[in-house]
Amino acid sequence: MKYLLVQEDEDCGEQLWGKCAGVEGFFVDSVPPPREVLTLRGCRPEGLLSEVLAEPGASLRGLGDVCVEGWDDEEPVQWWTLVDAVVLAHQPHSADPERYDIVLGAGVRNEESFFEVPATPRFELFAETTAAGARAGRCSGVDGLFKARVDPDPAPMELVGCEPAEPLLAALRRPRRSERDWANFLVLDRHGAVMASRSVGLAVTEAQPSVLGGTLVDITLTDGGHDRPSPAVRPIWAEWYHGPPAEPNLWAPYDSQGRAAWLDLTTRAWRVPAPWPDRSGGEHHLDGRFVTDVAGLHCAIAEALLGPGRYFGREWNAFKDCLGGGFGVAPPFTLTWHDSEIARRALADVVEDPEAGLSYFEDIVRLLEWCGVTVVLR
């Protein structure tokens, strides 16, 4: 059995619902949102957006995914992703000829919201959807952004060759009682250790005798969850199926999407008690030859501090939390960053905090030093 279906009970323990030999529909690409037309008002373009507008025939130029942050006076309060944004037209802004009104075609996906959007927000634009994206400018308004949108229909997932435990058998007998419940779908490696966990809905579309025979059951879940991995990262999961990596830099050949998937699989490690308490002091060496994006930076730092396949944050905020202790290593210590100029150049336009104006590389170095780490750049 390669998969477990478990649900948390009232005491925060895990109750087994079933074991499965296979799964179909676990690796899926998310359904893109429908296309819309939006207008960025009073925009001061930077980075990629500025480069596109400077070129002749800027219309119909693709920007990729663009992250829009709605800010109050102090902090971002709402995020949107403009999926596969394309410049349709642009013209000088009526009140300020140095600004632009830019018409985009894009799918719109709402991300997170912490507060109500203020009456007069400002909007920061980034050329990536990750927590650290390359700045693309700012604007005073976005026409067409604030409206209700319908979530896409859930994508099903089929559990093949299941041995149902009593809770799942009860759900199959009386499916309406569990149709709003959720459970954790645990993926096991070849040694039986949990390598990943995903949330799935327990509403059942169909259940029938398994194609594997015997007393096994094939069960189709109506909603296989919204955070399933893309088929493009299947090779990384296949590599981790044989167990956590034992050599450094095995993540290096992958692109940014693959490296992010690699980091995603390391996050399970922090739940496992370390075989030793936090270590401080000493010198750690960071191999910077392959640090060409944010995900690569965090892969390399985790390996430098803890070894291959370990977790030490996957973006700025999580990295800061790890430096506070409880993840195997805590300051003070010395971090010697070899070939640091590669990351400095690659991340020069990637900004975590637009107010500070530091590149992601500079921000990480400043955070390390602020937490008591001696950083030696080579």
**Of 109-113, 271-275, 295-299, 312-316, which gets the smallest average pLDDT?**
271-275
**Of 87-96, 264-273, 313-322, 338-347, which gets the smallest average pLDDT?**
264-273
**pLDDT exceeds cutoff 80 at 116:** no
Q: What is the mean pLDDT of residues 44-56?
A: 87
Q: What is the mean pLDDT of residues 287-313?
A: 96
Contact by Cβ (8 Å): 143, 42 = no
pLDDT at 131: 46
Place of tokens 């997932």: 157
Q: What is the mean pLDDT of residues 62-81?
A: 88
Q: Which value, to the nearest 10 degrees, does the dihedral of the CA atoms of residues 294, 299, 303, 305 take?
A: 40
| Beta carbons within 8 Å of 260's beta carbon, 6+ residues apart | 130, 295, 314
**Of 176-185, 213-222, 231-240, which gets the smallest average pLDDT?**
176-185
Say how far apart CA 319 and CA 312 lie, in whole Å. 6
pLDDT at 349: 83
Q: Could you tell me the residue ranges of all domains in the chain?
A: 3-29+153-228, 35-143, 236-377
pLDDT tens digit sequence for 248-281: 999 999 999 999 999 999 987 555 555 558 999 9
| Band of pLDDT at residue 178, cut at 50, 70 and 90 | low
pLDDT at 11: 74
Homologous superfamily of domain range 236-377: Barstar-like (3.30.370.10)
* Amino acid present at 203: A
Phi then psi for residue 199, to 5 deg, are -85, 135
| Band of pLDDT at residue 121, cut at 50, 70 and 90 | confident
Among 8-12, 111-115, 218-222, the range with the most confident prediction by mean pLDDT is 218-222
Q: Which two tokens stand for residue 302?
A: 């985790």
Q: What is the mean pLDDT of residues 369-376?
A: 98
Helix-then-strand count for the chain, H and E: 8, 18
> Over pLDDT 70: what percentage of the chain?
93
**pLDDT exceeds cutoff 90 at 43:** yes
Average pLDDT, the chain: 90
pLDDT at 271: 54
Q: What is the mean pLDDT of residues 351-377?
A: 90
pLDDT at 128: 66
**pLDDT exceeds cutoff 90 at 181:** no
Instruction: Between 129 and 306, name the one with better pLDDT.
Output: 306
3-state secondary structure the chain: CCEEEEEECCCCCEEEEEEEEEEECCCCCCCCCCEEEEEEEEEEECHHHHHHHHCCCCCCEEEEEEEEEEECCCCEEEEEEEEEEEEEEEEEECCEEEEEEEEEEEEEEEEEECCCCCCCCEEEEECCCCCCEEEEEEECEEECCCCCCCCCCCCCEEEEEEEECHHHHHHHHCHHHHCCCEEEEEEECCCCCEEEEEEEECCEEEEEECCCCCCCEEEEECCCCCCCCCHHHHHHHHHHHCCCCCCCCCCCCCCHHHHHHHHHHHHHHHHCCCCCCCECCCEEEEECCCCCCHHHHHHHHHHHHCCCCCCCCCCHHHHHHHHCCCCCECCCEEEEEECHHHHHHHCCCEECCCCCCCCHHHHHHHHHHHCCEEEEEC
Q: What is the mean pLDDT of residues 176-199?
A: 88
Q: What is the mean pLDDT of residues 106-124?
A: 82
What count of residues does the chain have?
378
* Amino acid present at 272: V
* Amino acid present at 53: L
**pLDDT exceeds cutoff 50 at 129:** no
| Beta carbons within 8 Å of 215's beta carbon, 6+ residues apart | 163
User: For residue 281, is it left (φ>0), alpha (ψ between -120 and 50) or beta?
Assistant: left
| Band of pLDDT at residue 130, cut at 50, 70 and 90 | very low
- Total-model pTM: 0.84
Q: What is the mean pLDDT of residues 29-36?
A: 90
